[in-house]
Amino acid sequence: MPDISIMHALCRAVSPAITDCELSFIDRESIDVALAQAQHRDYIAALGALGVRVTELPAEPVLPDSVFVEDSVLLFDELAVLTRPGAISRRAEVDAIAPVVQSVRSRVERITQPGTVDGGDVLCIGQHVFVGLSQRSNQAAIDQLTAVLKPFGYAVTAVPIRNCLHLKSAVTALSDDTVLINPEWVAAGYFDAYRQIRVAESEAHAANVVRIGAAILMPSCFPETRALVQAAGFAVSTVDVSELQKAEGAVTCCCVLFTG
């Protein structure tokens, strides 16, 4: 029997074509590919330092955004759900990761047309799954996900967002009862059941963090928000992902976490 207490992560190396990435809410800047690859290695090392067993998949030279593996699959304890990304250029990423997904979950479902959903829009806190209504994720996919997850006791809530790419750009979980949130990008009322820590006013993008057990991993460029999270009692590690942020990436999107 696998040890379900062990946290695993699927990651994919940075594509040499990352400079051709999709962008929606930020301006295009020059990306140093070698530095992005080095920062990604540091990111994987940071996950490992927090006890995560990482499987790194090879780079996909023709898929610029493929380092952002979170968008291609949702992994629950009971099953996996292959997504259908909102950007047409990213849909081939799903087929690229599918064989690995099938090796870690025996039951695999798939979002189908007309549904579109990116994993970055899906925030799971316990048995509650929040899904962002965004430029990348639509109600048709939310309806499909609701039907797939209902037999396993999950409740799904659609959450409109504004001025950002994904729901997890605006809010992530620090624990089962606490979220880190930018209320300028998502209505805080959707998360009234949780204690809310608001990002620092000068750090709009700081709400995206990775929760690993009781530890939090966040970008190093948000010191004010880091101080707020630490003051709330959380242990925080940081990593520099500045080049990946130029591709509209963040720390959650570079891994798919799962147990077992």
Give 113-161 pLDDT, tens digit per residue: 999 999 999 999 999 999 999 999 999 999 999 999 999 999 999 999 9
Q: Which of 11, 21, 164, 253 is catalytic?
A: 253
Give residue 2's pLDDT: 37
Q: How many other CB atoms sit within 10 Å of the CB of residue 13?
A: 16
pLDDT tens-digit readout, 200-229 = 999 999 999 999 999 999 999 999 999 999
DSSP letter for 31, please. -
Give residue 260's pLDDT: 81
To the query of whether residue 8 is one of the catalytic residues in this protein, the response is: no
To the query of whether residue 11 is one of the catalytic residues in this protein, the response is: no
Please provide the CATH number assigned to the domain covering 7-259: 3.75.10.10
Percent of the chain with pLDDT over 90: 97
Edge-first strand listing for the sheet containing 73-75: 73-75, 80-82, 108-110
Interval 86-115 mean pLDDT: 97
| pTM of structure | 0.96
Interval 180-194 mean pLDDT: 98
Q: Which of 8, 40, 166, 205 is catalytic?
A: 166
* Residue whose entry in the numeric block shows the structure tokens 């799971």: 124
